[in-house]
Structure 1
Amino acid sequence: MQFEPPRDIVKKIEQVAQNRARVLVAIAGPPGAGKSTIADALAASLRDAAVLPMDGFHLDNDTLRELGLLHRKGAPQTFDTAGLYALLVEIQKGGAVSVPTFDREADCVIPDGGQISADTHIVLVEGNYLLLDAPGWADLQGFWDMTVAIEVPLEELEQRLVQRWLDHGLSKADAIKRAHENDLRNARLVTDQSVMADVTFRQESDDI
């Protein structure tokens, strides 16, 4: 069954987008919260909207290996925040903009893998740390015309994150270890250190 985004959030974005040439909406939440599903559903419910995933700004594995951070891939310090900032400057100006995407199967960034077209009115930027109150990430706050936070109970997140690694072929023990040693640490960081959003979507159960 296709996920239907909350109508009040759709209406709020439509209101914010009135009389503006291009609108940037941040959709933030912990790993496993369903950000991409919600962002895609919102884009389908809005006119002239496109999704920009933050995942296109992962640092490459060789760089992370050199920095000793490969085991923490997905943590705030493993993203190119300066690159994301520079791209948002270009997107805010209007016009067509090429954007990087992330290939999960190959575990690598595809430069110019996607595009924000010239007629895109609403850009839905989705990612874990878009509202994080931390160096580099806090600099992004000036771009957002509206912010949406997704909240999911920690127990539900744990189940989703373990299942994600099981789906990638890890054993149950390794999936649990990977979820606890990295993903759930990042989830707690998002919950504890993000600024308040304009709108919060709380999931009481696994609705996505």
Structure 2
Amino acid sequence: MKKESLKRNTQAVCDLVDRLKKPGRRTIVAIAGAPASGKSTLAADVVKALNAKGDVKGNAIGAEHESPNAALLPMDGYHLDNRILKAHGLLARKGAPQTFDAVGFCEAVKGLANSSALRFFPTFDRNLDVAIAGAIEISPSTPIIVVEGNYLLLRSAPWDGLAEAFTASVFVNPGLELLRRRLNKRWLRYGLDPEAAAKRTEMNDMVNARLVLEESRPADLMLD
């Protein structure tokens, strides 16, 4: 995502949050899109911008500290372990909806709406290709949670149950051809040869991308 586009889109999301947030209630924002759509970069920039507006008091482990105004929760921390995927014959489809702990993720997001306790969530290390438990801390005093992931707006269960948790939703769609180029470059960057990168892109990532584009419900804000 170009710097000018990122700045413009970040401001658009922040404006949406300001417009839809309800006083006295936690705001949960969904930023969804296909693989390589730029949603992760946008989500991180939105959290940075929201935190620049100021902090609020909160509780750390055993002590009081300044909690951020916004926190980021990526869906990728709920990737199933490679050993489980291999046992179920799903390793080649890693990144597809069925390769996530979808129920666990959806319940965790819905639980954040009214949580009054300090919560911990997993993150995903792309270099190690493994989820790391308890790596994200979210204080009960943090009023805005930005959730990002491919399948946040899917119409099918259990993803469709997230609709009730989201205060605002954003969908990023740069188009299939740009997605294909970005995905191919990603796999080349991770050391795959050109033939393997193209195969991984077409046989897995682009299948997932089309699913996201065709089966997601409309968002409050659509970005290209």
Same-fold status (TM-score > 0.5): yes
Amino acid at match of 2:185: Q
CA–CA distance in structure 1, aligned partners of residues 140 and 13 of structure 2: 24
1:56 pairs, out of 62, 66, 77, with 77
Match of 1:4 in 2: 7
Deviation string, structure 1 residues 120-153 (Cα, Å, up to 9, x no partner): 1110100000001112111221111111000111
Matches within 5 A, 1:149-164: 149-164=171-186
Match of 1:46 in 2: 50
Match of 1:14 in 2: 18
CA–CA distance in structure 1, aligned partners of residues 206 and 30 of structure 2: 21
Is 1:68–2:72 an aligned residue pair?
no
Deviation string, structure 1 residues 48-84 (Cα, Å, up to 9, x no partner): 1111000011111111111111100000111111111
Q: Is the 8 A contact 1:25 1:124 kept in 2?
A: yes
Instruction: Give the match's secondary structure for 2:35.
Output: coil
Match of 1:85 in 2: 106
Matches within 5 A, 1:113-192: 113-192=135-214
Match of 2:38 in 1: 34
Identity between Structure 1 and Structure 2 (%): 41
CA–CA distance in structure 1, aligned partners of residues 219 and 110 of structure 2: 21
Could you list the structure 1 runs, at least 4 aligned residues long, displaced by more than 2 angstroms after superposition. 5-9
Alignment gaps of 5+ in structure 1: 203-208
The CA deviation at 1:5 is 4.5
Amino acid at match of 1:100: P
CA–CA distance in structure 1, aligned partners of residues 40 and 22 of structure 2: 24
Q: Is the 8 A contact 1:21 1:94 kept in 2?
A: no
Q: Is the 8 A contact 1:54 1:125 kept in 2?
A: yes
Deviation string, structure 1 residues 161-185 (Cα, Å, up to 9, x no partner): 0000001000011101100000000
CA–CA distance in structure 2, aligned partners of residues 114 and 86 of structure 1: 16
Alignment gaps of 5+ in structure 2: 52-68
Is 1:201–2:218 an aligned residue pair?
no
Q: Is the 8 A contact 1:22 1:94 kept in 2?
A: no
Amino acid at match of 2:190: H
Structure with max Cα Rg: 2
Deviation string, structure 1 residues 103-122 (Cα, Å, up to 9, x no partner): 11111110111111232111
Q: Is the 8 A contact 2:110 2:162 kept in 1?
A: no
Instruction: Give the match's secondary structure for 2:7.
Output: coil
2:134 pairs, out of 112, 115, 123, with 112
CA–CA distance in structure 2, aligned partners of residues 42 and 5 of structure 1: 11
